[in-house]
Homo-oligomer: A and B are copies of this chain.
């Protein structure tokens, strides 16, 4: 196997011969545009070759200008790495990583499944002459599963002079057994496999402290922007499942390594891990074919909580670490939604609460301790900045808030020059444009003659756009993307209300999950009509609630059981089977509850 180097700016990436360039960049954590799953159709994964450059492909001749081609611009998805190359990636010239905000949330009391037990191990006696394992079980007071790793570790652990041994257990399983009264560290790893982003948290399981959290682009991105396109890829290409699995696992390992290095701990100290994600992401992580999720009746291969070992999964933490994959509800409602419910405590509420998790798919949950309804709305990735011409995830350089009145003020994540606009910024921007009369109720851009920002409307007809910052333009097409997304979510909310048999005003709280929710102005959500106005005072951002749920399950062993109860309790509403869905969808294509100035 030969390796080549991709140089970009100051950084270098080591890549296997023949690996796809787009894949290699995304695997290295570099966020690069691309919505078409590497088919050469969207033209967004542009890079510039600084040395010799390959002849353009048909797709490139179609999507790039003559001048661009002559300057070495190519599409990353069209080329494999067949030698050392030096390239320029236009927007993101360096490896960027989201700083995951650690939001204190419901985790319950600290009762982790992982526990350290220090025992005085009595040497075997002539009298009972049991095995070493039985002696240990007698001291512990309960039986242990006689796994090979345990049997292999036991003799060395018991053969010390001071008679003390130290066990690390996660539930019934012995992860580690060592001689002496060593104070071993117990670390946990919570992973949220999102369609666009892999997030992970490193926890100290004794104190409950979060030692670090981080996120990188999901290395599956070159295989398609959403779950449907990735499933399609698996169905089409024999090797894709294995490649998607390996990419995801190595992405998690990269995150763990980085978090551990920052926290100055050894990744092998991680003895327990919990994983959440939507059903397709979890299937791909485990190397299980998700094809059935993509065809009627959209069922997953399994639903209950899975317990596997880190070794089996390929995680480079302690090889015997226990990994819990949280349970699924259906082919579209996954462990991420279960974890959100767990984190918000919706399943314990007396009065009905609404939970929105607006990622690449939009999950909507409505329920209380009696009953929980959930649906998944095909909202598209607009809320994550996907399929938006200058869209990007909520990483450094993203415009995350926009205020428009006489002028326009943008907040850029991490400060500095804006590189694009993320979901929350997009909603703010569109809300402002509605309020200021730049958009009519049908969603058409227009130039309100007297407005001080009127000159920012550029182009005309189909090419009309609003200039947000230099190089960042909101196009008519972008507005349409958001319009479709919000209509899908709003229609979904209404369908759930209908099934639950309540009015919006009866909703007690509205939980807004995801980075999107955290940076959101609730007013903007109501302004674009994603939620009815009467819910405005009830909206609360809960951050990455899926990640919080995964952390809860590490810190409190009851939470793992609770997750399974939640998963079995949730009733799924399939929106595509709902007759009134289309009607409501069309109705909410219009902007705003009250609408803008028409």
* Residues in chain A within 8 A of chain B (CB atoms): 124-126, 129-135, 146, 148, 151-152, 154-156, 158-159, 286-289, 291-292, 296-304, 306, 308, 312-313, 328, 330-331, 572, 574, 577
Contact = CB atoms under 8 A, between A and B. Distances in A.
B152 A300 contact: no
A253 B297 CA distance: 45
B129 A330 contact: yes
Contact of A129 (B135, B156, B159, B299): B299
A158 B297 CA distance: 14
A300 B132 contact: yes
Nearest to A241: B152
| Most chain B C-beta atoms within 10 Å of own C-beta, residue among A132, A304, A574 | A132
B297 A154 contact: no
Contacts of A306: 146, 148, 151
Contacts of A292: 124, 132, 155, 158-159
Given A148-B308, A156-B289, A133 B297 contact: no
A286 B148 contact: yes
Contact of A301 (B131, B288, B313): B131
Contact of A133 (B129, B148, B303): B303
A291 B155 contact: yes
Contacts of A129: 297-299, 330-331, 572
Contacts of A146: 302, 304, 306
Contacts of A308: 148
B302 A132 contact: yes
11 contacts: A126-B297, A129-B331, A130-B303, A133-B303, A134-B302, A135-B299, A148-B286, A148-B313, A151-B301, A152-B288, A155-B292
A522 B156 CA distance: 46
Contact of A124 (B131, B148, B154, B299): B299
Contacts of A577: 126
10 shortest A-B CB distances, which residue pairs? A155-B289, A124-B299, A131-B303, A133-B302, A126-B297, A151-B288, A132-B301, A131-B302, A131-B300, A146-B302
Contacts of A330: 129
A558 to B, nearest CB: 22
Nearest to A307: B146
Contact of A155 (B134, B154, B288, B572): B288
Nearest to A313: B148
Contacts of A132: 292, 299-302
